[in-house]
Amino acid sequence: MTEAPELPAPISALVGPVIRDLARRSNYDVTRWLHQVDRLRGCREPIRLTGESMTIDTQTGELLRHYATTSEPHGQLLVRCGNRRQARCPACAETYRRDTFHLIRAGLLGGDKNVPATVRTHPRVLATFTAPTFGPVHRGPGKDGVAPVCHPRRNGLSCFTRHQQGNPAIGQPLDPDAYDYVGHILWNAHAGDLWRRFTIYLRRHLAAAAGLTRKTFNETVRISFAKVAEYQTRGVVHFHAVIRLDSRTQDNTPAPPPIWATVELLDDAVHSAARAVHLSAPELGQPTRELVWGDQLDVKHIDTADSGNGDMTEVKVAGYIAKYATKAAESSGTLDRPMTSATILQLHRLDIADHPAHLIRTAWRLGNPITHPDLVHLRLRDWAHMLGFRGHFSTKSRAYSTTLGDLRQARIDWTRARLPHDPETTFVLGHWQYAGQGFTPGESALAASFAPEVRHGR
């Protein structure tokens, strides 16, 4: 006789005890807890704080307001986690994505956020820098959505399957035993340094193309950029970067560059500088001895919205860049949290494919300070869950546009302007302690059932 499948517990059995507990701790009124959840705007892992704050009039010394978490449900205040990763908190990641969108957009359109509108006339390109191959992997559909034959007889290997989007084989090596896992990890670990060297070489190649000395070029032209990192399914990072040429000014305000600084000149210099960048990898017996950019360098000219070309307009480029700012290595099948010795031992029990698991173990092995003391500075064990990459996912040059801090400060100022007390004549003294993070399973189900639209941070 076949046993009936076990049915999930009804939501009432899950949230019932939560409601009773909240009611007991809140004098039988859960309204305040619901109000806190509403203010989280869909945050999935809120920070729990205990403490108090006092608002004092700086002119009279009068205590205008006193707040303490002792009156809150559980005696704690819930605040948004602010995590940028979509896999951890979609609502907070959406806020980060929108901030990144406005940051990129301001540097392309101008006319706002202290960026002049003339930046639309500057030479601008969108460049994508990829990694070289460390061994053939199964391929997925191209940009047109068509799935090509994977690898017909490449390096003695073959795969004639047309893998559709979402196929778990995409990004996995055709021959794991021949794949250069050490070179892969070392490339990820040095990707940030490769980008730094590219920016140096780009200035040199632009100066040579313009017939100027490096000193004269640096005194005349500034290279402004904003970039994000993205993981490919094979577990290696690549960069999407908006690069713009400006005239150098004393107040760092972007100004139109000299007439000889054209987008074609910038395009050629990006290609030549990328080909010139190389680093010597530590010799650990791996095939990859030179760390370089991959052959698939893509450079596109950015058009204005009224140019008639709707493929590479400023707004579309900003949206394209911003969507990658909230993703990390978990998109390639790895974990979204740092590794420990215990996690490494239990890695085979986790829901991780063989390829990313092998990469994690390789990073952990190379990060051993006893066997590889010359690699300690790469902190590979700290970043094993990121497959060796330890750089920032979203970076920009100083003069490109506004900053994420300025965007966040604008929200704070907007909130303060609507407080009942004048922030110019009051002083807020607070004392807070961290009490934990996240909802219990019952609280999470209750929050989602009462306000489903809040889950999306609308």
Residue 308: the pLDDT is: 52
The mean pLDDT of the chain is 85
Q: Which residue has the higher pLDDT, 86 or 216?
A: 216
d(Cα 146, Cα 422) in Å, to the nearest integer? 60
Q: Which residue has the higher pLDDT, 310 or 232?
A: 232
d(Cα 61, Cα 43) in Å, to the nearest integer? 37
Residue 148: the pLDDT is: 75
CB 77 within 8 A of CB 53: no
- State which amino acid sits at residue 236: V
Residue 223: the pLDDT is: 95
Residue 410: the pLDDT is: 87
Task: Write the pLDDT tens digit of every residue in 313-349.
Answer: 888 999 988 888 888 777 777 877 888 888 888 888 8
Residue 415: the pLDDT is: 83
Model confidence at 458, pLDDT cuts 50, 70, 90, reads very low
CB 192 within 8 A of CB 202: no
The CA–CA distances, whole Å, from 108 to 99, 121, 328 equal 15, 9, 25
Residue 377 has pLDDT above 90, yes or no: yes
Mean pLDDT, residues 264-280 taken together:
95
Task: Write the pLDDT tens digit of every residue in 15-67.
Answer: 566 666 666 555 546 777 888 888 888 888 999 999 999 999 888 888 888 98
Percent of the chain surpassing pLDDT 70? 88
Task: Write the pLDDT tens digit of every residue in 234-258.
Answer: 999 999 999 999 999 888 888 999 9
- Per-domain boundaries in the chain: 93-134+180-332+389-402
DSSP string, 329-395: GGGGT--SS---HHHHHTGGGSS--HHHHHHHHHHHHHT-TTT-GGGGGG-TTTTGGGTT--S-SEE
